[in-house]
């Protein structure tokens, strides 16, 4: 059981209800990538919509598995908790370590990406590296401060940012269908590849659009009635994000001519301009993108602190990560924000070609390691017949979902590429020394 309720931590701590938990999932899945996604998949033709459908099935299967696991183990930490319960301390540490790497590197990437949109609203931001770096750091630390203020404010920011960013997205996704012109769609298979080859190639770009499905599970300790609400929030949030992705991409395909869309740098801007005329679409999309990224950073900052917190309680991470105030693991937020800030400063100061991009690509691998371990844990619980963790009436259905989720996670790993897998494994192995030190300390304390 979680050691204390969020309410007990004071007026600034509050457990998330189903709406906020759902917004946490949706907000973390949908960052800023959606604003360029239609142009990214346009070269493959409208078959990319089929790839979206295939990936959505896998993502929903993974979401359902997280929901089932949260029913049995409704604790903060999500994949870390599941892996440790099934396979022991080392597997739990690997899940926690890899997920933590993902969160703080991704936070740096989101902040750097947000600067590009801020420069549209405030051109002076993009004129000097120092101004760009300062803007990126500000975008990182504002969500961190919201987290330090307490879970009550985290939930409020997440709810407001999700509503604000979805308003313009839904304007295009739904309103754009009334301006839809089938002549703009272009060919079904624009690359000349086989259907399977085209779907696979397109999926390599889309695979990482669903990272974040685990958000409610990781924060299960802050969710009211987690055994009931984590699963619902995970499925609702994933389905909602999938609907926005699919409708938004379809609408943009029908609003912007295919040859223009392939070369577009701002497809949603072009779509808004096609709907209403004028050139104000760029400002609207830039505002929505900044709000989207700040909201995603708000959610990811919370998640970046939750997994080390859960591992620290079990002696697998340094004890400092167990420090908790106003319902939030304070040390985890501060350390993660500091690491992300350091990486951001390095990116602007050194500017080494490809270094930052490589690190971001590595996170696409490290993010899937906890997914694989979680799906494998569910398979283990089902096959081992643990009555406390298996609902016998749902055995077959849960088994099929677990296998689908595991296959989806493997596809994520394959899609990250050989270089990312190689370097991601090095990142994971670097943590083994830390595990050895923490294990030795626990053994010494127990002696």
Least confident of 14-18, 45-49, 84-88, 412-416: 14-18
Listing DSSP states for 4-22 in one string gives S-GGGG-TT---B-HHHHH
- pLDDT tier at 334 (50, 70, 90 boundaries)? very high
In this prediction, residue 2 carries a pLDDT of: 44
Mean pLDDT over the full length of the chain: 81
H or E element: which one contains 325?
strand 324-325
In this prediction, residue 391 carries a pLDDT of: 58
Q: Alpha-carbon distance 303 to 211, whole Å?
A: 13
- Highest mean pLDDT (candidates 153-162, 195-204, 237-246, 381-390): 237-246
- pLDDT tier at 387 (50, 70, 90 boundaries)? very low
* Higher local confidence (pLDDT), 317 or 227: 317
Least confident of 24-28, 177-181, 431-435: 24-28
Provide, rounded to the nearest whole percent, the portion of the chain with pLDDT above 70: 89
pLDDT exceeds cutoff 90 at 92: yes
In this prediction, residue 210 carries a pLDDT of: 79
In this prediction, residue 6 carries a pLDDT of: 41
pLDDT exceeds cutoff 50 at 244: yes
Q: Which residues of 74-99 are buried (b: 16+ CB within 10 A; e: fewer)?
A: bbbbbbbbbbbbbbebebbbbbbbbb
- pLDDT tier at 1 (50, 70, 90 boundaries)? very low
Sign of the CA dihedral 137, 132, 365, 191?
A: positive
pLDDT exceeds cutoff 60 at 338: yes
- The whole-number average pLDDT for the span 184-209 is 78
- The whole-number average pLDDT for the span 50-68 is 87
pLDDT exceeds cutoff 60 at 180: yes
pLDDT exceeds cutoff 70 at 302: yes
In this prediction, residue 389 carries a pLDDT of: 53
In this prediction, residue 324 carries a pLDDT of: 82
Least confident of 112-116, 128-132, 245-249, 343-347: 112-116
In this prediction, residue 87 carries a pLDDT of: 93
In this prediction, residue 374 carries a pLDDT of: 93
- Please report how the helices 418-430 and 355-366 are oriented relative to each other, as an axis angle in degrees rounded to 10: 80
Q: Which of 309, 307, 310, 301 is nearest to 333 (CA)?
A: 301
Q: What are phi and psi of 329, to 5 degrees?
A: -70, 95
Q: Alpha-carbon distance 441 to 367, whole Å?
A: 28
In this prediction, residue 442 carries a pLDDT of: 80
Predicted model pTM: 0.82
């Amino acid at each position: 059981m979680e050691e204390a309720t969020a309410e007990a931590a004071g007026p600034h701590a509050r457990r998330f209800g189903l709406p906020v938990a759902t917004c946490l999932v949706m907000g973390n899945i949908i960052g800023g990538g959606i604003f360029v996604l239609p142009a990214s998949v346009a070269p493959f033709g409208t078959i990319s919509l089929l790839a979206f459908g295939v990936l959505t099935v896998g993502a929903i299967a993974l979401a359902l598995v997280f929901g089932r696991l949260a029913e049995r183990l409704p604790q903060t930490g999500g994949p870390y908790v599941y892996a440790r319960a099934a396979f022991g301390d080392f597997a739990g540490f690997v899940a926690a370590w890899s997920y933590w790497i993902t969160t703080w590197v991704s936070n740096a990437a989101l902040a750097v990406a947000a600067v590009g949109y801020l420069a549209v609203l405030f051109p002076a931001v993009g004129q000097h590296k120092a101004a760009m770096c300062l803007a990126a750091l500000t975008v990182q630390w504002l969500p961190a401060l919201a987290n330090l203020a307490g879970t009550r404010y985290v939930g409020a920011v997440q709810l407001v940012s999700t509503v604000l960013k979805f308003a313009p997205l839904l304007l295009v996704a739904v309103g754009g269908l009334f301006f839809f012109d089938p002549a703009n769609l272009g060919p079904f298979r624009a690359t000349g590849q086989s259907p399977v080859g085209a779907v696979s190639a397109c999926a390599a770009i889309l695979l990482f659009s669903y990272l974040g499905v685990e958000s409610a599970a990781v924060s299960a300790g802050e969710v009211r009635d987690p055994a009931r609400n984590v699963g619902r929030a995970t499925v609702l949030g994933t389905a909602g994000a999938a609907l926005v992705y699919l409708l938004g991409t379809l609408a943009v395909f029908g609003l912007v001519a295919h040859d223009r869309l392939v070369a577009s740098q701002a497809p949603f801007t072009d779509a808004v301009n096609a709907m209403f005329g004028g050139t104000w679409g760029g400002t609207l999309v830039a505002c929505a993108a900044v709000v989207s990224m700040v909201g995603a950073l708000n959610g990811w900052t919370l998640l970046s602190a939750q997994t080390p917190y859960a591992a620290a309680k079990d002696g697998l991470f340094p004890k400092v990560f167990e420090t908790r105030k106003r319902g939030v693991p304070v040390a985890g937020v501060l350390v993660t924000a500091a690491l992300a800030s350091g990486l951001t400063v390095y990116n602007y100061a050194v500017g080494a070609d490809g270094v930052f991009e490589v690190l971001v690509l590595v996170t696409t691998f490290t993010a899937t390691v906890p997914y694989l371990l979680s799906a494998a844990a569910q398979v283990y619980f089902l096959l081992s017949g643990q009555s406390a963790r298996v609902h016998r009436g749902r055995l077959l259905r849960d088994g099929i979902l677990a296998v689908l989720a595991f296959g989806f996670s493997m596809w994520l790993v394959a899609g990250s590429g050989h270089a990312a897998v190689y370097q991601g494994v090095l990142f994971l192995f670097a943590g083994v020394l830390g595990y050895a030190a923490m294990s030795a300390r626990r053994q010494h304390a127990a002696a």
